[in-house]
Amino acid sequence: MKEKIALVLCLLSITLTTMALVNSVKAEPDFAWVEPAYKGYDAYYGRDITGYLQNTNWTFSMSYTYYGMPQFNISAIRIYFDWGKNYTHRYSPPLALKNGQTRLFTISNMTPPVEETSELWEHSYYVHIDNVNSTVAPMRELFSVSVYSGDYFAVLSEDHLACLNLWYKYGMMFGDSLPMSAVYSPFPFFANITATQVNMTRAIFEFQQGFAIFEAGVFGTARSHLERGDSYFNSALNVWLEKGTALEDAGLAHLNSETNYNNALADGTRKQADASMVNSYGWVLFGLGWTFIGIGLIIYGIRKPKTTPS
């Protein structure tokens, strides 16, 4: 009986020691996904996601701080995804962390293809750190600490990612509801340019179909519609630039022509007025000349010496 009690106490002591070690470790490090293919709202999932393109590397960065005694020896960092795969990054020899010490980790691995890991729903993930009793052999694993977990991780096909990039580019035109009427075109002021209006209407119809199909999860077909909409939209802008600039130039030329015509009329009127004024001055001077001649004759007559008749 005493032997059983001693065994129970020994096991209890080991359990409490292990719990104390686990509790002395910082529970949640700073964590971030590095350069995902897409981060933001996904209209298919209906929420913000972090997405990586299939067959490319996913990468996360993590800052981890250890608090407690004894020394914490990291032999591996593992991330487990809910698609059933455990990715392990091992350290040989193990990394030793003393009380209050922080290390920065960058972990990377291959994103599986969508044939193996569905893109029809988002995935959860869990990050663990393995601790061993020493940094030199022989080593014995003590326990594994769960340090981080998250949701809304997406594996993206090329079609899905293309749709997301076009959503990011044009989604502001649609808001939270589809489809959008052409009446709510963001550029109503080019309605007087027929080709632009036609291309924009075509673009909106393609966007309506494409985003509706995208929300249904048929990414390849959705991509075709959205890329056609993108092409029509760019054509509308190009025509608008060409025709709008031509109209502006024509309007400016007409305005300049009217201005020049009015300036010419004003200049002609001014010249006529100047000529009339010069003529007036001429006649005035002419009249003054005759007046002065008359005055001169009078004065001459007055002052002329009188002669005695013989």
**Confidence at residue 13, expressed as pLDDT on a 0 to 100 scale:** 44
The pTM for the full model equals 0.68
CA distance linking residue 62 with residue 280, whole number of Å? 97
> Does position 252 have pLDDT exceeding 70, yes or no?
no
Give which of 174, 55, 59, 200 is closest to 116, Cα–Cα.
Answer: 55
For the ranges 88-102, 125-139, 258-272, the lowest mean pLDDT is seen at: 258-272
> Does position 93 have pLDDT exceeding 50, yes or no?
yes
**Confidence at residue 192, expressed as pLDDT on a 0 to 100 scale:** 67
Q: What values do phi and psi take at 15, rounded to 5? A: -65, -45
**Confidence at residue 187, expressed as pLDDT on a 0 to 100 scale:** 55
Sorted by where each begins, the domain ranges of the chain are: 14-156, 158-302
For the ranges 85-99, 167-181, 253-267, 280-294, the lowest mean pLDDT is seen at: 280-294
Q: Tokens 């393995």 appear where?
A: 130
**Confidence at residue 266, expressed as pLDDT on a 0 to 100 scale:** 65
- According to DSSP, residue 188 is labeled G
> Does position 275 have pLDDT exceeding 90, yes or no?
no
**Confidence at residue 10, expressed as pLDDT on a 0 to 100 scale:** 46
CA distance linking residue 86 with residue 80, whole number of Å? 4
CA distance linking residue 31 with residue 158, whole number of Å? 27
Higher confidence at residue 136 or residue 28?
A: 136
Higher confidence at residue 173 or residue 248?
A: 173
Q: pLDDT class for 143, splitting at 50, 70, 90?
A: confident
> Does position 137 have pLDDT exceeding 80, yes or no?
no
Higher confidence at residue 74 or residue 245?
A: 74
Strands 38-42 vs 47-53: parallel, antiparallel or unpaired: antiparallel
Average pLDDT taken over every residue of the chain: 78
Sign of CA dihedral 137, 139, 144, 147: negative
**Confidence at residue 221, expressed as pLDDT on a 0 to 100 scale:** 97
Q: What is the mean pLDDT of residues 252-262?
A: 62
CA distance linking residue 133 with residue 23, whole number of Å? 17
> Does position 129 have pLDDT exceeding 50, yes or no?
yes
**Confidence at residue 215, expressed as pLDDT on a 0 to 100 scale:** 93
Q: How far is CA 270 from CA 162, 224, 266, 277, 280, in A?
A: 68, 68, 6, 10, 15
Q: How far is CA 170 from CA 40, 175, 204, 230, in A?
A: 14, 9, 10, 9
CA distance linking residue 160 with residue 220, whole number of Å? 7
> Does position 121 have pLDDT exceeding 50, yes or no?
yes
CATH superfamily of 14-156: Immunoglobulins (2.60.40.10)
CA distance linking residue 214 with residue 303, whole number of Å? 119
pLDDT digits over 210-224, tens only? 999 999 999 999 999
CA distance linking residue 109 with residue 248, whole number of Å? 56
Give which of 163, 125, 126, 118 is closest to 147, Cα–Cα.
Answer: 126
What's the token pair of residue 16?
């409490």
Q: What values do phi and psi take at 166, rounded to 5? A: -75, -35
Q: Report the interhelical angle of 219-303 vs 158-170 (nearest 10°).
A: 30
Q: Where are the beta strands (DSSP E) in the chain?
A: 30-33, 38-42, 47-53, 57-65, 72-81, 85-97, 102-110, 123-132, 141-156
